[in-house]
Amino acid sequence: MAGDSNEQREHSEAITKRNQKEISGSKLWNSIIKNYEMIQGAQLSNSFILLMVLNEAKEPLTTTQISELISKRSKGQIYKISATLRDSLERRLKREGYVEGIELNNKGLYSITPKGQRLLHGWIAFLSAYSK
How high does pLDDT run on average in the chain? 79
Write the CB contacts of 45 (distance below 8 Å, at least 6 apart in sequence).
36, 39
Kindly give, in sequence order, each residue whose CB lies less than 8 Å from that of residue 83, ignoring residues fewer than 6 positions away.
63
Band of pLDDT at residue 33, cut at 50, 70 and 90 = confident
pLDDT beyond 70 at 40: no
Q: What is the DSSP letter of 106?
A: T
Please, what are the domains in the chain? 2-130 (1.10.10.10)
Residues 6+ apart with CB under 8 A from 111: 54, 57, 59, 60, 61, 99, 100, 101
* C-alpha to C-alpha distance for 84 and 126, rounded to whole angstroms: 25
